[in-house]
Structure 1
Amino acid sequence: MNIYVANLHYRLNDEDLHQIFSEFGQVTSAKIIKDHETGRSRGFGFVEMPNEEEGTKAMESLNGSEVEGKQLMVNEARPKQPNNGGGNRGGGGRGGYGGGGGRDRRY
């Protein structure tokens, strides 16, 4: 069972995540996703637990629990949506630095 864990404190590492979930059963892998450029945690990760029952118990027990002062959000991970090819990954033509040009700001 693949489990998605969000709202992780930035100080936590893969081993911390592994330990948190291992209280509920065997953990195959625990991975906190990091920013490619800075190497800093992005605040979410994935845990793989081979036993469905143990994974469900971990999700139910840990969802909403507090770790390092942050309330975890724990759900079964959904499969990555297929990329339908092509696709414009651009930012909608705002161009250059600063972006957001032309928006009215009311204070």
Structure 2
Amino acid sequence: MDRGGPFKVFVGGLPQDCTNDILTDYFSKFGNITDVVVMTDRMTGRSRGFGFVSFGTEEAVDQIMAMHQDHQIQEKWVDCKRAS
């Protein structure tokens, strides 16, 4: 049952060269993505190693959480948690 959204996942441990497009490509298999952001350092523009992916439904987040720690992006295991 949806709670009204947005439904967001924190993704930590990202590779340094990970982009919004790479996150979109990986997570789009779970559902309709409404927003993606890889957090970057304001001064250097380099990735801070984490980001957020927002979905249109809670079911997409539930699927991601059901896989526990089985998410790999660019051959690197990443950590996914529910975000508010």
TM range (shorter): 0.7 to 0.9
Judged with a 3 Å threshold, the aligned counterparts in structure 2 of structure 1 residues 62 and 33 are, in CA distance, closer, same or farther, namely: farther
With structure 1 as the length reference, what TM-score do the two structures score? Answer: 0.66
User: Counterpart of 2:13 in structure 1: which amino acid?
Assistant: N
Cα distance in 2 for partners of 1:21, 1:35 equals 23
Cα deviation, residue 62, structure 1: 6.5
Cα distance in 1 for partners of 2:41, 2:50 equals 11
Count of residue pairs brought into register by the alignment: 78
Identity, % of aligned pairs?
31
Structure 2 portions without partners, runs of 5+: 1-6
Q: Deviations over 1:60-94 (max 9, x none)?
A: 3373422223211000014xxxxxxxxxxxxxxxx
- The reply on whether 1:68 has 2:67 as its aligned counterpart is no
The answer to which structure, 1 or 2, has the higher relative contact order (CA under 8 A, 6+ apart) is: 2
Cα deviation, residue 49, structure 1: 0.7
Higher strand share: 2
Runs of 4+ that moved beyond 4 A: none
- The reply on whether 1:30 has 2:36 as its aligned counterpart is yes
Highest CA radius of gyration, 1 or 2?
1
Match of 1:59 in 2: 65
Kept after mapping to 1: 8 A contact 2:26/2:73: no
Cα distance in 1 for partners of 2:24, 2:68 equals 13
With structure 2 as the length reference, what TM-score do the two structures score? Answer: 0.83
Q: CA RMSD of the aligned region, Å?
A: 1.5
Structure 1 portions without partners, runs of 5+: 79-107
User: Counterpart of 2:50 in structure 1: which amino acid?
Assistant: F
